[in-house]
Amino acid sequence: MKRIGIPIILFVATVFTTMFAGALQQGINVLKEPLRILEGYPFSVSIITILLGHEMGHYVASKIHKTKATLPYFIPAPSIIGTFGAFIKMKSPILTRKALLDIGVSGPIIGFILSIIASIIGLRMSEVISLEKHKDIFILGDSILFSLLVKITVGSVPEGKDVLLHPIAFAGWIGLFVTSMNLLPIGQLDGGHVAYAIFGRKHFYIARILLIFIAILGVFLWHGWIVWAALLLLLGVDHPPIIFWEKLNKLRKAIGITSFIIFFITFTPTPFKF
């Protein structure tokens, strides 16, 4: 019971906190009108679906490769999105190169697809507003992909205006942002797994170059990158070796390279600004 009890409790708690966050995003004072928390369901359903899809991708890949892993643990949080994400814990080492690549890439690709779907649906329900009339608002930065999705669904946004994201679109934006952060080829992040599986010992240099790059962005663009770089340094930049280093077929290599392309088009140098 403990094996599934804690994940279920955390999941239910995260449903509540993300609904709370979704209601706040719509200007609802949940403390005064507690029943209106239910109006936060569009954001809650969207962000939880994206996170669950990501983690279940890892979980299923782990099962296929007979690697023991826990069910997803959601992390509820009193934040603007109501969660600090989700994770699964590996209870046995990843032994083969194929397993490392499959487990590493499965979560981000599923999360990426779900995030695109949420972004398109949400952008169709978003509105273009004048920045002159909405001063002191939080502005989200755009990745290459999100900018393209805005042009496709909303059209060209005139100078002095911006898109006020519907909660579903905001969940899609968060999903793409989380995907890019997970695909950083550093340590034991998903991108670290993929980079080590494809490049082996060259991961040592790739990880350090990217860590320096993130730190530089933190100095000049968004200070949050400094915090992220420090956290990655604390958790470890290197990837542990694997036992069986078998040859990867062309399909697996192509999927691995595709994950790096996903990282490039979803990366947002300045995620938040006023």
Give the pLDDT confidence of 109-125 residue by residue, as tens digits.
999 999 999 999 999 99
Is 52 within a domain?
Answer: yes
Residues 203-237 have pLDDT tens digits of 999 999 999 999 999 999 898 899 999 999 998 89
Instruction: Give the whole-number percent of the chain exceeding pLDDT 70.
Output: 97
Q: Is the pLDDT of residue 272 over 70?
A: yes
Q: Which H or E element spans position 80?
A: none
Task: Give the position of tokens 């826990």.
Answer: 70
Query: Which domain covers residue 161, as residue numbers?
Result: 41-71+96-273
Confidence at residue 157, expressed as pLDDT on a 0 to 100 scale:
81
Confidence (pLDDT) at 164: 86
What is residue 27's predicted lDDT score, i.e. its pLDDT? Answer: 87
Per residue in 147-174, pLDDT tens? 999 999 988 888 878 888 999 999 999 9
* Tokens at 104, concatenated: 């590493």
In a domain, 87, yes or no: no
Query: pLDDT tens for residues 42-94?
Result: 999 999 999 999 999 999 999 999 999 999 999 999 888 999 999 998 888 89
The pLDDT assigned to 162 comes to: 83
Determine the pLDDT at residue 136: 65
Query: Considering its fold, how many domains does the chain have in total?
Result: 1
Inside any domain, residue 12: no
Output the average pLDDT for the chain: 91
- 251-257: long-range contacts (C-beta < 8 A, 24 or more apart)? 252/98, 252/101, 252/102, 253/198, 255/101, 255/105, 255/109, 256/101, 256/105, 256/194, 256/197, 256/198, 257/198
Q: Is residue 148 part of a domain?
A: yes
Assigned domain for 27 exists: no
pTM for the complete prediction? 0.93
136 is a domain residue: yes
